[in-house]
Chains A and B, each alone.
Chain A
């Protein structure tokens, strides 16, 4: 049985990964991209730039921050800093997934290339399903899913761009709302450490608070400030609980 599975060609595993485009997380992500597309139409970004952005900046929160930084008149350096700081979470995500994807013969350059396709949706998908794939086919399986997901969303954005303006306001509003709601649900759902829940709560409070205090640096301030408070609080609680044992 194990041998028969192993003999499936790489193409078959690539296609098996690609079929993940019909999974619930992939469908929700595509709907979120329709919502993001509506945001870019309202921001006045030309369609070819939106398609480029979809493929190049493969992280929806980073794209939203990039768009709002530019609309706020940020310089290249400021926008770079805001997006860089908002994308720190990609490092532990990738670092946690790489040992799962890596086979005995997987070259590092391939992992560097494939890492571009790791964002919340692909990460959750891979963490859940990669265990059923033989180790030497895991990178291929993930490539199939990741590349299909990015290509499909570039296509969705390109096609939907011209339709989105025609949407009734009720539909456009609901699609726009998918993004924050989807982020909330998927972060909570995929959290594996208690500090994530605390940080999610402090970030939700610190975001508007910092916007009110210092609108230019709100996201950075809320992230570093709220995150540090969350980390410190969770650590204190953890140490106390351990001391009581």
Chain B
């Protein structure tokens, strides 16, 4: 694992990061009012976009890097599942779910001697 150096890194980030994200924002502005909110095509786009982000989330939970790579999978799964309980019991407030999940993870890591 080696990272890029010098100006090439900035070009890489600008093209594969900046341009790659802002293209959609510019198209979004242009589409603006004209985009039909109830079209089937947009529904498909939404589904693909959400599934993509969900896949990233799953990877971050199942195959984390750094400190969490040494934590047991059952602990991360328990944190997410109990976090989901907290989220729904807390009237779907993000803070309720996030706080529960992090509290479970912290308690588990502490218990395991991290």
Contacts and interface: CB of A to CB of B under 8 A. Distances in A.
Interface string A69-96: 1110000100110011111111111111
A44 B1 contact: yes
A58 B20 CA distance: 11
A87 B102 contact: no
B17 A227 contact: no
Contacts of B48: 88, 199, 223-224, 227-228, 231
A182 B98 contact: yes
Interface size class on chain A is 35 or more
Contact of B63 (A172, A206, A211): A211
Interface stretch (A10-18, A153-161, A187-195): A187-195
A180 interface: yes
B94 A176 contact: no
Given A71-B1, A115-B25, 17 more contacts: A28-B94, A56-B17, A61-B52, A79-B16, A83-B20, A95-B31, A96-B37, A116-B22, A173-B66, A173-B109, A188-B87, A196-B47, A204-B54, A208-B58, A211-B62, A227-B50, A227-B52
Contacts of B22: 115-116
A69 B35 CA distance: 32
B74 interface: no
A68 to B, nearest CB: 8
B53 to A, nearest CB: 5
B16 A59 contact: no
B24 to A, nearest CB: 4
A90 B53 CA distance: 12
A147 interface: no
Contact of A179 (B2, B27, B44, B60): B60
B17 A53 contact: yes
A37 to B, nearest CB: 11
A98 interface: yes
A10 to B, nearest CB: 21
Interface in A48-69: 49, 52-53, 56-59, 61-66, 69
A230 B80 CA distance: 22
B57 interface: yes
B93 to A, nearest CB: 8
Interface string A129-148: 00000000000000000000
Contacts of A116: 22, 25
B68 interface: yes
A57 B13 contact: yes
Contacts of A38: 66
A182 B56 CA distance: 13
12 contacts: A49-B13, A52-B10, A57-B13, A70-B3, A91-B24, A92-B28, A115-B26, A181-B101, A183-B53, A199-B46, A199-B49, A227-B50
A118 interface: yes
B46 A195 contact: yes
A55 B55 CA distance: 24
Nearest to A96: B37
A90 B28 contact: yes
A219 B56 contact: yes
A62 B21 contact: yes
